[in-house]
């Protein structure tokens, strides 16, 4: 068994960007792990550490050297390696020379010359510096910086580097800094260097002596517990969002909780605005009561243990007051101008250069939203009004300061303006779902507005040729398409997507958009991932996709029908029969009558299948009309015996062209019967 050691790598820096710290740490660990694997260096485990002032990795059980490797090189073919007299050619001589041996020492495997040698493994310590440099170079840093007069670039200036292989320092220079065994503690509580004697002592030493909790996850859990405990002490519950928790974890090395308060008069401002100010500007955690109502308190996380915590508390309270005062001022000023009066201001806000302003978009969305609302049995005028007001809050002062409140503040301002509750709620719901797995709009008007807004964007952006490619999707068209599908399917809306896309396209001025923008195909394609995430087999999805249903809800009903059909004992035989029919028709590749003529039937099996089809077709017609595909497929399953008998007794491709064409038309009729639900020939049996 190979001898192993533990390796500690620490890059000490000035304060790293808090929002990116976790991502940087994960990337650094991945880079080091991949580098070790590429160098064929086995190890037991890798443990990441990350604080505002350091990125570190502890590798346990790392071998001290590479294993020797057998290397086989393939040379020229025998025919090219030797001439007619059996003498080595230039090709053979050149290959032998490149291997450092004589031609006579080369091996022969099959028809080629080969050379097998043993590559002696290198000591791990000599490979570590290059692995670290590559890992640092591949970190996801959008903009690197330089410091002093040094030629090096990194996310922040580097001040120290630790590379400790058990008790041995791996001596090298990275980013202009010589490696050593000295780390640093907390900037204020323990600023002096401290020597590390063994990698596994790292975390314990920093936490016990240096006021640093180096493990990001441990520190995050500590902060969460501190915040929750502080909230309980004031009979409240802390609002802890994961993104803010991660950011605060990236700001401190030794967290302590400070509870502060603010004037109750600020609670007259919508709580979302106050929370946005506390979270976004000050990185504070708001506190709510059991009913979810905001309380006049906040919890801050400090990076020091103060001897005078009341002074720290007072300082935080002093800082938050002007922030909340701004929010209160925006709330007061914005309400002085009704939303509808801001519609004209949208003429000065560009939606997209080729597609006009937000005013133009609002007119299109209002028209489409009204149509959808009417189809859903609600008031068309209310849908139009919601579309007109949808983007008006974007030109308010509050949204200028807190863009994430768009729609939310629209609802508040609409209620203040005495708009109907339906319209006001729709303004908030228009952006739902905001992310994968988010809740959907619940009101008819909100669903209509959300769909109309997203359809307008999809049609417009596709129409000017800015189709998403690879990872590039600046307008979030994939998310918009999936959101539309989710609303239509999960809210059970029987809307015709293709018809709505046509209406959306017609709302644009002539010659602005391309005629065939492939939006329908793009949206339909999103259903593949949507159902695969629900563990629906891909062949079931493909069986429905080929039929191109224009209603997503209808698509879903077909999927559920196929799901039940797969449980039937007749499924395997019918899927195989449909495959056979598909292949026969494809191979025939000729024109034949649209309808079979019973007068040309020569076999009893033909008449039996024809009569059974006529009966089933009549029976399933009302089921297909209401989208009961599960029941329709159960009735179609009853055809299994007569279809099997048909193929047992009847030869389709006979010499008599009239009979042959009639039987091909007959098979086409059978196929079309099933295609009213799905192409079950695509199901794997």
pLDDT surpasses 90 at 579: no
As a residue count, the chain comes to 685
Cα–Cα distance between 518 and 481 in angstroms, integer?
Answer: 13
Beta bridge partners of residue 173, listed in sequence order: 178
Q: Tell me, which fold does domain 339-535 have in CATH?
A: Hypothetical protein af1432 (1.10.3210)
Question: Does 114 have pLDDT greater than 80?
Answer: yes
- pTM for the structure as a whole: 0.83
Are residues 31 and 138 in contact, defined by beta-carbon separation less than 8 angstroms? Answer: yes
Percentage, residues of the chain above pLDDT 70:
100
Classify residue 465 as left (phi > 0), alpha (psi -120 to 50) or beta: left
Assess contact for 155 and 141: CB atoms under 8 A. Answer: yes
Q: At 12, which helix (H) or strand (E)? A: strand 4-13
Q: Express each pLDDT in 635-655 by its tens digit.
A: 888 888 888 887 777 787 777
Cβ neighbors of 553 (< 8 A, separation 6 or more) are 488, 489, 492, 493, 494, 495, 627
pLDDT digits (tens, 9 = 90+) for 382-436: 999 999 999 999 999 999 999 999 999 999 999 999 999 999 999 999 999 998 8
* Long-range contacts at 570-576 (CB < 8 A, ≥ 24 apart): 570/637, 570/638, 570/640, 571/637, 571/680, 571/683, 571/685, 572/685, 573/640, 573/643, 573/644, 574/636, 574/637, 574/639, 574/640, 574/643, 574/674, 574/680, 575/680, 575/681, 575/683, 575/685, 576/685
* pLDDT at site 388: 97
| Confidence bin at 1 (pLDDT 50/70/90) | low
Least confident of 104-108, 134-138, 498-502: 104-108
To which residue do tokens 């080929």 refer? 546
The rounded distance, in Å, linking the Cα atoms of 153 and 53 is 17
Domain spans of the chain, in order of start: 4-66+123-209, 69-119, 216-334, 339-535, 563-682
DSSP letters for 93-131: HHHHHHHTS-GGG-EEETTEEEEEEEEPPPBHHHHHHHH
What DSSP designation does 352 have?
A: E
What gap in Å lies between CA 468 and CA 453, rounded to an integer? 18
Domain 4-66+123-209: CATH architecture, name and number where available: 2-Layer Sandwich (3.30)
pLDDT digits (tens, 9 = 90+) for 519-576: 999 999 999 999 999 999 999 999 999 999 999 999 999 999 999 989 888 888 888 8
- What CA–CA distance (Å, rounded) separates 451 from 445? 10
Tokens of 573: 């035989």
Q: What percent of the chain is modeled with pLDDT above 90? A: 72
Question: Does residue 491 register a pLDDT over 90?
Answer: yes
**Quick check: 16 pLDDT over 90?**
yes
Say how far apart CA 414 and CA 389 lie, in whole Å. 8
Flag whether pLDDT at 72 surpasses 90.
Answer: no
Residues 151-170, mean pLDDT to the nearest whole number: 95
CA distances from 496 to 372, 376, 489, 516, 679 (A): 10, 12, 12, 18, 21
Task: Tell me the average pLDDT across 599-609.
Answer: 78
Q: What is the pLDDT of residues 302-336, one digit of tens each?
A: 999 999 999 999 999 999 999 999 999 999 999 99
Q: What is the CATH number of domain 563-682?
A: 1.10.730
Which burial class, exposed, middle or buried, applies to 478 when counting CB atoms under 10 A from its CB (0-12, 13-18, 19+)?
middle
Q: Do domains 4-66+123-209 and 563-682 have the same CATH topology?
A: no
CA distance 49 to 56: 5
- First-to-final CA distance of the chain: 49
Helix (H, G, I), strand (E, B) or coil at 488: helix
- Mean per-residue pLDDT for 13-27? 96
Query: So what's the pLDDT on residue 607?
Result: 82
**Helix locations, 105-215, DSSP H:** 124-137, 202-209
In this prediction, residue 669 has a pLDDT band, given cuts at 50, 70 and 90, of confident
Mean pLDDT of the chain: 92
- pLDDT of 361 reads 97
What is the pLDDT at residue 70?
83
Report the range of poorest mean pLDDT among 400-414, 507-521, 584-598. Answer: 584-598
């Amino acid at each position: 068994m190979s001898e192993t050691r533990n390796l500690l790598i620490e890059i000490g820096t000035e304060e790293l960007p808090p929002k990116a710290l976790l991502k940087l740490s994960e990337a650094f660990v991945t880079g080091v792990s991949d580098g070790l694997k590429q160098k064929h260096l086995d190890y037991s485990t890798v443990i990441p550490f990350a604080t505002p002032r350091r990125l570190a990795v502890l590798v346990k059980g790392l071998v001290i050297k590479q294993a020797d490797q057998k290397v086989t090189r393939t040379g020229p073919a025998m025919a090219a390696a030797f001439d007619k007299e059996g003498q080595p050619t230039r090709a053979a001589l050149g290959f032998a020379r490149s291997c450092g041996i004589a031609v006579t020492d080369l091996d022969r495997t099959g028809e080629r010359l080969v050379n097998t040698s043993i590559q002696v493994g290198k000591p791990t310590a000599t490979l570590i510096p290059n692995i670290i440099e590559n890992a640092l170079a591949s970190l996801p840093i959008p903009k690197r910086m330089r410091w002093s007069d040094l030629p090096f670039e990194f996310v922040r200036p580097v001040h120290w580097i630790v590379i400790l292989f058990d008790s041995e320092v791996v001596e090298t220079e990275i980013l202009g800094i010589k490696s050593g065994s000295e780390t640093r503690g907390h900037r204020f509580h323990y600023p002096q260097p401290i020597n590390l004697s063994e990698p596994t002592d790292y975390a314990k030493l920093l936490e016990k002596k240096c006021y640093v909790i180096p493990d990001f996850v441990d520190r995050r859990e500590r902060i969460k517990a501190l915040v929750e405990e502080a909230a309980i002490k004031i009979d409240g519950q802390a609002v802890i969002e994961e993104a803010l928790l991660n950011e605060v974890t990236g700001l401190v090395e030794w967290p302590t909780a400070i509870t502060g308060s603010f004037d109750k008069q600020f609670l007259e401002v919508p709580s979302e605005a106050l929370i946005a100010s506390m979270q976004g500007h000050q990185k504070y955690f708001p506190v709510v009561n059991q009913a979810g109502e905001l309380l006049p308190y906040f919890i801050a996380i400090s990076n020091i243990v103060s001897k005078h915590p009341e002074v720290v508390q007072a300082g935080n309270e002093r800082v938050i007051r002007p922030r909340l005062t701004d929010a209160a001022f925006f709330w007061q000023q914005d309400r002085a101008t009704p939303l509808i009066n801001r519609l004209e201001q949208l003429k000065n806000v560009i939606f997209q250069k080729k597609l006009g302003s937000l005013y133009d978009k609002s007119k299109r969305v209002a028209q489409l939203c009204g149509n959808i609302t009417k189809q859903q049995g609600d008031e068309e005028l209310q849908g139009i009004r919601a579309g007109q007001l949808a983007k008006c809050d974007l030109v308010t002062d509050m949204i200028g300061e807190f863009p994430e409140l768009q729609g939310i503040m629209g609802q508040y301002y609409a209620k203040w303006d005495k708009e109907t509750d339906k319209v006001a709620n729709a303004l908030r719901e228009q952006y739902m779902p905001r992310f994968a797995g988010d809740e959907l709009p619940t009101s008819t008007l909100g669903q209509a507005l959300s769909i109309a807004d997203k359809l307008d964007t999809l049609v417009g952006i596709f129409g000017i040729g800015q189709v998403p490619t690879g990872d590039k999707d600046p307008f979030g068209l994939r998310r918009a398409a999936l959101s539309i599908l989710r609303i239509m399917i999960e809210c059970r809306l029987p809307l015709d997507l293709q018809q709505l896309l046509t209406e959306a396209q017609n709302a644009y001025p002539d010659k602005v958009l391309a005629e065939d923008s492939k939006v329908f195909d793009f949206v339909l394609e999103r259903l593949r991932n949507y159902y695969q995430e629900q563990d629906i087999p891909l062949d079931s999805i493909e069986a429905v996709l080929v039929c191109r249903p224009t209603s997503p809800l209808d698509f879903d009903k077909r999927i559920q029908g196929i799901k039940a059909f797969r449980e039937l004992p007749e499924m395997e035989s019918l899927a195989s029969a449909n495959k056979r029919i598909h292949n026969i028709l494809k191979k025939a590749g000729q024109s034949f009558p649209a309808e079979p003529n019973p007068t040309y039937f020569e076999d009893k099996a033909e008449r039996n299948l024809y009569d059974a089809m006529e009966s089933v077709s009549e029976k399933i017609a009302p089921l297909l009309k209401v989208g009961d595909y599960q029941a329709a497929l159960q009735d179609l399953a009853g055809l299994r015996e007569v279809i099997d008998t048909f193929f047992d007794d009847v030869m389709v491709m006979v010499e008599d062209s009239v009979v042959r064409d009639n039987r091909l038309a007959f098979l086409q009729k059978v196929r079309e019967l099933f295609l009213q639900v799905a192409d079950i020939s695509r199901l794997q049996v």
